[in-house]
Structure 1
């Protein structure tokens, strides 16, 4: 899913009115948001955090200092480890690492649903249909299903799981 499509879906999920215009820059198609009230914002996680704050849903960024750090860690994981992966070996490694981490957790921060869960779900969505990989990574599959069932987000995630 292209970053602009993800951000538009996030806006809808957050209950924000449409109207933001996204562009992309560079070879990696880094998303850019031109704001009405200031400078343009660049980068998927920067723009997503801005949208969360605009929607007054800052709890999605973490509720304690530690949880905020974990959310940031997983947002970085999304951009550095998930985006741009194309070979089955790379995908398998990412899913294996994530599966191990999620074995004893409901969500990435433990028990709270955050922006990291949303953006990681969006980023992994293209791999979820690769059945052989998902079968090997049951914790990843379980977390994706749990994210889809969130009442606030019901019907707002693309579903393939």
Structure 2
């Protein structure tokens, strides 16, 4: 697994989410704050107030979407929000090899008993985690992908939607176990 210098929850990730959801977004920018970069959006819904922080921006934008991205129940919505926070707190730092391994291991364990992160269909949690993880998944070897079998299954399923994948590289997964 190669370590790259990046922050996964950035403006490009927000732009991909906006494109997938087919919604309008205000002006995106970065605010420098004590050695960290915080995404900011202004002009959302004609409002002049700025909204800052990846999770807050993504949730605010998804609320504009015609089709609900938060699942079917209030519990689903709470879980979607938790997964977005997880993406910000942990997924955002998958550029560090040790962090990436831990995040992939945790997500693989969660997906061992389900097809999606929340409920029985794709939600905003799946969309956000797809974009956050793409940079790491593209660099995994076939052997490393097999170590995260459930995560690889989920990722391969999610990326089959060309609308979601957009210009991201289609990642190939081996269909037969290469290593035992």
Per-residue CA deviations over 1:46-65 (Å, capped at 9, x if unaligned) read 111122122223x2122201
Structure 2 partner of 1:48? 58
Partner of residue 68, structure 1: 77
Question: Cα 1:60–1:102, aligned 2, differ >3 Å: closer, same or farther?
Answer: same
In 2: Cα distance, 1:4 partner to 1:154 partner? 17
* TM-score using structure 2 length: 0.78
Do 1:85 and 1:91's aligned partners in 2 also have CA atoms closer than 8 Å?
Answer: yes
Which residue of structure 1 aligns with residue 38 of structure 2? 30
- Equivalent of residue 143 in structure 1, options 135, 154, 166: 154
Q: Secondary structure at the match of 2:36?
A: coil
Q: 1:110 aligns with which of 103, 109, 119?
A: 119
Bigger Cα Rg: 2
Q: Show the counterpart of 2:26.
A: 20
Corresponding position of 2:175: none
TM-superposed deviation, 1:22: 0.9
Distance 1:86 1:8, change over 3 A: closer
Q: Confirm or deny: 8 A CA contact 1:32 1:40 kept in the other structure.
A: yes
Residue-pair matches, total:
158
CA RMSD of aligned residues (A): 2.0
TM-score by length of 1: 0.87
Q: What are structure 2's unaligned runs of at least 5 residues?
A: 1-7, 172-180
